[in-house]
Amino acid sequence: MPTLPLPAPRGARSDGLEARKRLLLAALRLFAGRGFAKTSTREIAQAAGVNIAAISYYFGDKAGLYAACFSEPMGGNAGDLVSLYDAPDLPVDEALRRFLASYVEPLKRGEIVRQCMRLHMREMLEPTSQWAKEFERDIKGPHAALVRILSRHLGVKPDDDVHRLALAVTGLALQLFVAHDVVTAIRPALMRRAQDIDLWAQRLAMYAIALVEAEARRRAAAASAPPPPRQARGAAQAAPARSRRPRARTSA
């Protein structure tokens, strides 16, 4: 009969968690500044103040540590967050509130967020195999969930305008990450405390609802508008044809 392993002493466990955290944060800073190829595991271990063997112990290898830098500092896997707002019976305003609140939550982490954004930008400019994974999990997955939410609310199939609306809603929150330094330079009080980020989430949800309502009105107006008269359509099509007819020559 197999036996369970004895739990590690509390001191050893806390020391291990602290070493892992130091490795993760040191790797994030170095990867963001130099990229994957130009950063060595020895440099990461020295910056973290741990033995180089700790990298393979906690993360498997350098690639595993690099992958962890994309999800763990920001607060977890984006795929796990989708379940918070992608429920068929959830009202659209509550779904958008949850979506945007979870999206901006990492902004409370301050400098770590800036380093994460640098890492993502560098990965886009110098892509590794990690980019495809990040696109599927952190970009394509949440976007598909948001498209489902908007399509259900509008009662339409996911056409180009639904995707356009989903990208606009996501852009409300994304600009706070991309333009983080600009926002803090223009109005530092908007990003100073955790309460400020919570207020951003509330306001962004309100703005997102306004976008959704505007799209619903646009669709309703387009559906109720009478089609143009057939004669007018025919005349519009015939006009260019008449203009192409050669002019009759007159004798001198």
String of DSSP letters for 88-154? TTS-HHHHHHHHHHHHHGGGGGTHHHHHHHHHHHHHHHS--THHHHHIIIIIIHHHHHHHHHHHHHH
Instruction: Tell me the pLDDT of the chain (252 aa) as tens digits.
Output: 333 333 344 444 567 889 999 999 999 999 999 999 999 999 999 999 999 999 999 999 999 999 999 888 887 666 667 877 878 889 999 999 999 999 999 999 888 988 998 999 899 888 888 888 888 888 898 999 999 999 999 999 999 999 999 999 999 999 999 898 899 999 999 999 999 999 999 999 999 999 999 999 999 999 998 887 776 555 555 555 555 555 555 554
Domain hosting residue 215, numbered range: 76-220
Structure-derived torsion over alpha carbons of residues 208, 92, 218, 226, reported in degrees to the nearest 10: 180
Q: Are 153 and 197 within one domain?
A: yes
The pTM of this model reads: 0.77
pLDDT of residue 7: 38
169 and 85 in contact (C-beta within 8 Å)? Answer: no
Q: Are 86 and 162 within one domain?
A: yes
Q: Is residue 246 part of a domain?
A: no
Domain count, the chain: 2
Q: Are 141 and 42 within one domain?
A: no
- Residue where a domain terminates, one of 70, 97, 113: 70
pLDDT of residue 10: 41
pLDDT of residue 14: 61
Distance, CA of 114 to CA of 29 (rounded, Å): 10
Q: Are 166 and 98 within one domain?
A: yes
Q: Is residue 111 part of a domain?
A: yes
